[in-house]
Amino acid sequence: GAGVSQSPSNKVTEKGKDVELRCDPISGHTALYWYRQSLGQGLEFLIYFQGNSAPDKSGLPSDRFSAERTGGSVSTLTIQRTQQEDSAVYLCASSSQGLGTEAFFGQGTRLTVV
């Protein structure tokens, strides 16, 4: 498909384990975003990648969270030593950037920490 793809769609993990969430952006999109959405809440910014520039990590809630984007395409969000408060839907979006270009979201990964 031509949309943003995220995997897995659901992930249940034990407290203290590490998890990796994957995002495949739309081909050719230079900008990639990660947001977190807790149950019934809004969208919390985590991190933003744009081309080869240094990512904007200002939204990462703690040093247990990290993300990388390899080859300007696929991105992985890693959460180390997961806590119950990390349970949420993690959303990835991509855009072709430029002045006010649309961002398209994936379906999200629902993370449950038990």
Partner 1 sequence: GENVEQHPSTLSVQEGDSAVIKCTYSDSASNYFPWYKQELGKGPQLIIDIRSNVGEKKDQRIAVTLNKTAKHFSLHITETQPEDSAVYFCAASIGWGQFYFGTGTSLTVIP
List residues binding partner 1 (CB under 8 A). Answer: 4, 31, 33, 35, 41-43, 45, 48, 50, 56, 59, 91, 93, 97-108
What distance lies between CA 43 and its chain's CA centroid? 12
CB of 35 or CB of 79, closer to partner 1: 35
Query: Nearest approach, Cβ of 81 to partner 1 (angstroms)?
Result: 26
Sign of CA dihedral 4, 68, 99, 28: negative
Query: Nearest approach, Cβ of 97 to partner 1 (angstroms)?
Result: 6
